[in-house]
Amino acid sequence: MKLLIFALCIIIVSLNACTTLQKKTAQPMVHKQPVVQEPTQPRSERSLYLGAQTAMRNGQITLAIEFLEALVTQRNHEKESNLVDLTPILQLTDLLLKSNRPKDALKYLQAPVRLTKLSKDNSAEQKDLYLMYARSLAGVKEYNKALDSLIKLLNQHPAFMPARHLQITLYIHTKQFALAHVAINIAIQQQDTPRLRQFQADVFARQGKFQKAFNSLKKMHALNTKDDTAILLLSQLEIQQKHPDKAEKILRDFSKKNPSSLRVQHALARFLIQSKRPQEAIVIYKRMLLSLPESAEIQSALGLLYYQQQQFKEAAEHFHKARQTAPQNQSYRFYYASSLEALQKNKEARTLYQQINPQHALWKEAQLRLASMDFIAKKYTSSRQHIQNILKKDPTNSQAWVLLSTTYLAQDKFQQLLDKTQPAMYLKQIPARLQMNRAIAFEHFKHYEDVERTLKSLLDHNPEHADALNFLAYTYAEQGIKLDEAKNYIQRALTQKANDGYYLDTLAWIYYKNGEYHHAISTQQKALKIITDDATMHEHLGDMFWKQGEKEKAIQQWQSALSLQPDTPSALQLKIKHGLNDSP
């Protein structure tokens, strides 16, 4: 049974922020008298510090680090300056940790920690210094050293909750659950908080003690009845314990008392979707819109629900509203286009698909949609251009390879189909539809060995692929070889589609090639009750009647085949005139 993993405070917060120094704007050339350049003076501590604060406000993390590193390095030249003001060091190391550079953070912390003695009289900055040191040690996976440092800190300052939280987190991370419980209980004696009860529930859940985890979450909720976090975790726990009704009740009860809790309503809607109750989820999201009418996320959620219910008009309306709120959102644009396409508004859909950013995850899908639209409109060249766009960026895209082969197949360009899709034969997993299309092309050229090789490769990975089984069986029957093997293949296909007329035609043809004309005729007649307008199948029945000695019935079937515009009318005319035995 999977354990419930709660959202705990993380050891190191990773924040990637790449910011470069702005290049100085080039100034126009002005003729001036030459001046003697004075030696560059180091920037003042004040300017470095103010520069760092400005950079942080602007989100320029890399630049802020550069300013603070310069400041701290400059101060390090002054004896024991680390004890004067710890703020720059704490800010610097916090930024380094957020930038996933704990090793660099340690470099700046070691000297101040060595010079700062722990005592009950420590200032807030000094306590934060030891906490930052423990965070940095944890960041380089020195968990035992980090815990030792925290224990020393907590011995002097047992009520310092940030240190207690980090200690508990590290105990959980290192799976020292008994020690985690001790630390939690000590902290609860200091002050019982929802955060500590959440920690407690997490440890119990990891130990498989779900009832105790449930009780801890109830205490967490009792400490702050307006906070929905405990409710969300309680419902998750019930779902994991296979109690969906209880999970739903928890969410609904809280939602009734706290209608402004959109997180709980959203969780309830997701639960209903997973329970295949989309109409009830729609009601929830519509209620949420009353509180947040401009929410693009809610509009999009409704759009997806309506789309899945094939209510494309409603889906388009909600995706349109989502785009009005967030016009640059590529996902909303794509799904709005999909809704319009389903409504056969292809012109508008095409424009939106073409606007999808090539860097976005849905760009390839948009190109596929454009290719499919062109394919349906028989604009095969344009369709292939979109496909090539995809394959340039993603040569392993199986959907693109399948559609590419299908465009050539639709035009009977069999050799180009084989040539252009040859690179796909090096994929780790070749799409079954692509292999089928290539087999059809090989069959056109009567390259039966290639047909057999291709279909057997397909069946190695998809042994019950009914169409491949039928195709291979028919290929053997056409050649009059391996008829027992062919019969086995087609019978496997018929176990999946017992009333498929084409599969029955294959079985009848195998009987015919094996000289079992009575079985062949009865099977073919059954096939023609299902498919009445196939010229080849009528021709086959005529051949069977002829071999059975029923020549009038044979000629009647050949004439029926001729009326259905067969591929080779001249061959049928010869059969009608001369029969099978007398035909050249």
452 inside domain: yes
Confidence at 78, pLDDT banded by 50, 70, 90: low
Please tell me the distance from the alpha carbon of residue 468 to that of residue 490, in angstroms, as a whole number. Answer: 9
Nearest of 267, 272, 175 to residue 230 by alpha carbon? 267
Q: What does the pLDDT read at residue 141?
A: 96
Confidence at 259, pLDDT banded by 50, 70, 90: confident
311 inside domain: no
Identify the DSSP state of 426.
G
31 pLDDT above the threshold of 70? no
Helices (H), 157-193: 161-173, 177-190
258 pLDDT above the threshold of 70? yes
Nearest of 429, 451, 432, 377 to residue 407 by alpha carbon? 377
32 pLDDT above the threshold of 50? no
The answer to whether 387 touches 403, Cβ cutoff 8 Å, is: yes
280 Cβ neighbours under 8 A, 6+ residues apart: 272
The DSSP line for 71-83 is: HHHHHHTSTTGGG
Check: pTM over 0.85? Answer yes or no: no
pLDDT digits (tens, 9 = 90+) for 183-230: 999 999 999 999 999 999 999 999 999 999 999 999 999 999 999 999
126 inside domain: no
Please tell me the distance from the alpha carbon of residue 267 to that of residue 150, in angstroms, as a whole number. Answer: 37
517 inside domain: no
Residue with tokens 């009059």: 480
pLDDT digits (tens, 9 = 90+) for 286-296: 999 988 989 99
513 pLDDT above the threshold of 60? yes
The answer to whether 400 touches 391, Cβ cutoff 8 Å, is: yes
Confidence at 76, pLDDT banded by 50, 70, 90: confident
Confidence at 74, pLDDT banded by 50, 70, 90: confident
Average pLDDT, the chain: 90
Q: What does the pLDDT read at residue 42?
A: 56
Q: What does the pLDDT read at residue 583?
A: 40
Report residue 434 CA to chain centroid gap: 24
Q: Assign residue 398 the CATH number of its domain.
A: 1.25.40.10
Indicate the number of domains in the chain. Answer: 1
288 inside domain: no
Q: Which domain holds residue 371?
A: 357-463
Taking phi over 0 as left and psi of -120 to 50 as alpha, with beta for the rest, 78 belongs to beta
pLDDT digits (tens, 9 = 90+) for 384-407: 999 999 999 999 999 999 999 999
325 inside domain: no
Q: Long-range contacts for 358-363 (Cβ within 8 Å, ≥24 apart)?
A: 358/393, 360/330, 360/331, 362/330, 362/331, 362/334, 363/330
The answer to whether 391 touches 397, Cβ cutoff 8 Å, is: yes
